Chain A
Amino acid sequence: MGNFIFKRSLQSVLSLALLIILVFFLARFTGSPADLYLPLDATEEMRDQFNQRFGFDDPVYVQFFRFLGGLLQFDLGESIQYSKPAVEVVLQAFPTTLMLAAITMPIVIAVAIVTGSLAAFRPGGLFDRIASLISLIGASTPNFWVAIVGVIVFAVWLRVLPTSGTGTPWHWVLPVAVLCLRPTGVLVQVVRSSMITALSSAYVKTARAKGVRARAIVFVHALRNALLPVITVASDQAAGIVNGAVIVETVFGFPGIGKLMIDSVLLRDFAVIQAAVLVTALAVFIINIVVDITYALVDPRIRHS
């Protein structure tokens, strides 16, 4: 087992390295930040000075090695827009997004497992149809649309929730609700699907035939069996939450990492892009490893792949 964890972590480091290389070089091809930050009538000299200050005057590979060197000392460079260390900027924004994800995912999983299992009990039944319909709507509605409609309905018309911003727990209700929508929609489908399979599998049938009276027992047995794909998809949706966070944080004025990333790309703040990608990717890889370990504990076949 220890060997497996070690191997898995090593693989993650490899993925992380690939990602960093990818982002580093791609970002640098998006154009020079000098024009954005320098005045319109900047002289050549001012440009040189600017590029020198942030090290953009060196060839890209030199910049890359300098970046690697800094990485070893946990120094990811200076943010151009905030004029302070990129790590500091990113770590200030990260907790908000982590918090959003940490509240969202348990809700998503709980709702999806309950709804999906109930739907699987009678495939094609009324509850199944309604649940499928709603989950598909959830999975195919644009986030920003729901977010703005949510503000109009709940904050302006009904006046039961604040429009935006942080502060009280009430401020988190709308953003979390919007963020839950899509992953819940997808996960309900997955739970339903694998529960149908599990409920019709041989051993559950045997259990039924043997006269295990309580349906609940069958249910629990089946659920345990159906959980593996659910865990996989759930971990994946957790990683995808950053996508949703970009929109949610923009609309609701949340100081999170999603909005920070997109702003940094628009403002060519390379150091912040790199730091933000590194931090989110680390979080995602930790989730992945935890999921893989759970997986391997349950299903020994995975350990060998």
Chain B
Amino acid sequence: MRSSIHASGTAEMARPAQATPSALRDIVSSLLRDKVALVSAAFLAIVLVCVALGPTLLADQARAMNLMQRNAAPFSFDRPWLYILGADALGRSVLARIIVASQNTILIAGTAVLTSLVVGGALGLVAGFKEGAVSAILLRLADAIMSFPSLLLAVIVLFVFEPGVANVILVLAISRVPIFLRTVRAEVLELKERLFVTSARAMGASTWRILFRHVAPMVLPTVINLAALEMAFVMLVESGLSFLGIGIQPPEITWGLMVSDGRNYIGSAWWVAFWPGLVIMLVTMSLNLFSNWLRVVTDPVERWRLQTSAE
């Protein structure tokens, strides 16, 4: 799943440098005005609170089995409030598990996406700026990884190495590096022909300085947008790994593991897989909407574009 969303679409746009610090106040007030972005931000904030505090507060409740209330239905008010979303196949509170699992899930998906973003982004800058052997090899390697179904790659790698949090992150990160590499390279190829880059070069700035001071910030909005979509994908692949038994091992929990656990009960107890699936979806959506908004406010060109086309 690669997207060079704005790769060539923005070709003829000249973009000014970053937003100045004084614009920060504007940003906050703009967030308050944009209801969708506000709701997304609020939801993400709640998730972050769960990530920070969930395991400390609810770890025991998330592990407490009660086979008597196996697959207990949701919205039943004669059970404690923790069972409002129902119970799973071992009679554990789905709500408590979702909250506790947020930490692992966000940590794994976040680290994997961040790693592939940093590594893929850096390699993409290099591949875009320095043509020749290095660039060619990087691109061929990216092609090789991308032409191989990532699920299969993960399966093979995790059969070779022991499945654990670190290896799962590593596999997910490696399989996503090429997307960032290609997207960033496509953007850089365009940017480097632009006026401000050629003039910086003419003024004698070093390649690295141009790359990181001038080019990288311009690529960032696209990359952040992409990263938001990648989060969803990584969470879903992780779910697939859990289903094959090589993902995160219990008693650790992730949303992906919960979805795959519930798969056997879709016909008889829909809630077991539904709620964690819904949370994955909501997080994806919030990240996406929030990153869209972020892009608009941090990139004046985009803001102007939105205003004009919405006339």
Contact = CB atoms under 8 A, between A and B. Distances in A.
Direct contact of A and B (CB under 8 A): yes
Interface of A: 11-12, 14-16, 18-19, 22-23, 26-27, 29-31, 122-125, 129, 132-133, 136-137, 139-145, 148-149, 152, 182, 186, 189-190, 193-194, 196-202, 205, 225-226, 228-229, 232-233, 236-237, 239-240, 242-243, 246-247, 258, 261-262, 265, 277, 280-281, 284-285, 288, 299, 301, 305
A231 to B, nearest CB: 10
B309 A200 contact: yes
Nearest to A12: B143
A29 B141 CA distance: 21
14 contacts: A11-B136, A11-B143, A16-B144, A18-B140, A30-B159, A123-B310, A137-B285, A139-B232, A140-B236, A141-B281, A144-B263, A186-B229, A194-B6, A196-B305
Given A11-B136, A15-B143, A123-B309, A145 B8 contact: no
Contact of B140 (A14, A194, A226, A246): A14
Interface in B4-25: 4-10, 12-13
B186 to A, nearest CB: 8
Nearest to A194: B9
B160 A30 contact: yes
A277 B6 contact: no
Closest 7 CB pairs of A and B: A197-B9, A15-B143, A140-B284, A30-B159, A194-B9, A140-B232, A19-B144
A180 to B, nearest CB: 14
Interface string B134-168: 00100111011111111110011101100000000
B149 A136 contact: no
A144 B284 contact: no
Contacts of B306: 123-124, 196
Contact of B147 (A15, A26, A186): A15
Contacts of B144: 15-16, 18-19, 22, 281
A200 B308 contact: yes
Contact of A19 (B13, B148, B189, B263): B148
B229 A139 contact: yes
A262 B13 CA distance: 46
Contact of A139 (B12, B155, B284, B305): B284
Most chain A C-beta atoms within 10 Å of own C-beta, residue among B139, B141, B285, B309: B309
Q: Which of A26, A142, A189, A265 has the most CB of B within 10 A?
A: A142
The DSSP consensus for interface residues of chain A is helix
Given A142-B236, A149-B266, A229-B9, A265 B156 contact: yes
B275 to A, nearest CB: 12
Contacts of A186: 1, 3, 229
Q: Provide the main secondary structure of the chain B interface.
A: helix
Interface of B: 1-10, 12-13, 36, 131, 136, 139-141, 143-152, 155-157, 159-160, 179, 186, 189, 225, 229, 232-233, 235-236, 239-240, 243-244, 259, 263, 266-267, 273, 277, 280-281, 284-285, 288-289, 305-306, 308-310
A287 to B, nearest CB: 9
Contacts of A301: 189
Contact of B309 (A129, A196, A229): A196
Contacts of B136: 11
Given A11-B139, A26-B160, A236-B1, 9 more contacts: A18-B144, A129-B36, A136-B281, A137-B285, A152-B267, A196-B306, A277-B148, A285-B147, A288-B143
A148 B263 contact: yes
B92 to A, nearest CB: 20
A11 B244 CA distance: 34
B266 A124 contact: no
A200 B306 CA distance: 8
B151 A226 contact: no
Given A145-B259, A236-B2, A228 B310 contact: no
A190 B3 contact: yes
A229 B189 contact: no
Contact of A145 (B4, B9, B233, B277): B277
Given A145-B273, A197-B305, A265-B159, A246 B152 contact: yes
Contact of A229 (B4, B235, B240, B310): B4
B9 A246 contact: no
B155 A265 contact: yes
A124 B140 CA distance: 39
Contact of B3 (A143, A145, A189): A189
Nearest to A136: B285
Contacts of A196: 305-306, 309
A157 to B, nearest CB: 11
